[in-house]
Amino acid sequence: MTGGPVRVPELRSRSWYRWVTATFVAVLVMMAWVAVTQPENRVWVAVTLPLMGLWVTFLVRRSVTFDPGTGVVTRTVVGVSRELRLVPGTEVALVPNGAGALLLALRPPGARRRTYLLILSMTDYVEASQPPELLRGLADTLERFCGPATRAVVRQLREQADHVAGGGTARTSPLAALLTYGVLRAAKAGGAGGIVGHLD
């Protein structure tokens, strides 16, 4: 990969943006109606409106980058950045979020929190994997800075890259088997039978 930080795409679809926009507009309409018809609740409207704005800003203005040359991973949310440096002993794992996304979780020694990079998304709005060059770049960076303890994850990332590079879909990709879904999604997939299948 080229030098300098590499941005990790959010894997969002147009329908996701439409959903966020429609939700925000619907809430605005509801709050306007409350403000006009229920004057006693205008304080609630005044408090809720800024919170909605922050929510939308949080969803849209966030990013994660990694630098293959330095091993630095940077997460930025609404202009505030937090960095971690990959070193030997960094905890590295591929973890499902329970809602159709697979994340690369990173926690260097002594760090209190994990930093997450989105690897695969299989939701109602998008079915997509990160591109092969990014997956290979991540694998190479982990191997270089974190050492042999990451061998299993490095292998999985490279297998995913080979699958996508060969024209394979996100749904049939090797990492798709690691995804999990919550109870609501399981029920949507087929009632009690669907729930049992997802909880096995």
- Give the Å distances, CA to CA, from 46 to 30, 52, 110: 13, 11, 41
Given a cut of 80, is residue 50 above it in pLDDT? no
Show Cβ contacts of residue 32 under 8 Å, excluding neighbours closer than 6 positions: none
Rg (CA), the chain: 20
Is residue 1 assigned to a domain? no
In sequence order, what are the beta bridge partners of 92?
106
Tell me which H or E stretch contains 107. strand 101-107
Given a cut of 90, is residue 99 above it in pLDDT? no
Specify the higher pLDDT residue, 3 or 63.
63
Inter-residue contact 96 to 102 (CB < 8 Å):
yes
Is residue 200 assigned to a domain? no
Q: Count other Cβ atoms within 10 Å, centred on residue 157.
A: 27
CA dihedral 69, 72, 73, 75 (to 10 degrees): -120
For 92, the domain range is: 6-195
Inter-residue contact 57 to 79 (CB < 8 Å):
no
Could you read off the pLDDT of 173-189 as tens digits, one per residue?
999 999 987 654 544 44
Is residue 150 assigned to a domain? yes
Is residue 52 assigned to a domain? yes
Split into its structural domains, the chain has a count of: 1
Tokens representing residue 153 in the block: 């994850």
Query: From CA 27, how far away is CA 54, in angstroms rounded?
Result: 14
Q: Report which of 183, 110, 130 is spatially closest to residue 8, judged by C-alpha positions.
A: 130
Q: pLDDT value at position 200? A: 32
Taking residues 129-140, what's their average pLDDT? Answer: 96
Could you read off the pLDDT of 104-134 as tens digits, one per residue?
999 999 998 999 999 999 988 789 999 999 9
Q: pLDDT value at position 175? A: 97
Q: pLDDT value at position 142? A: 97
Taking residues 126-146, what's their average pLDDT? Answer: 95
Model pTM score: 0.69
Tokens representing residue 58 in the block: 């949080």
Is residue 69 assigned to a domain? yes
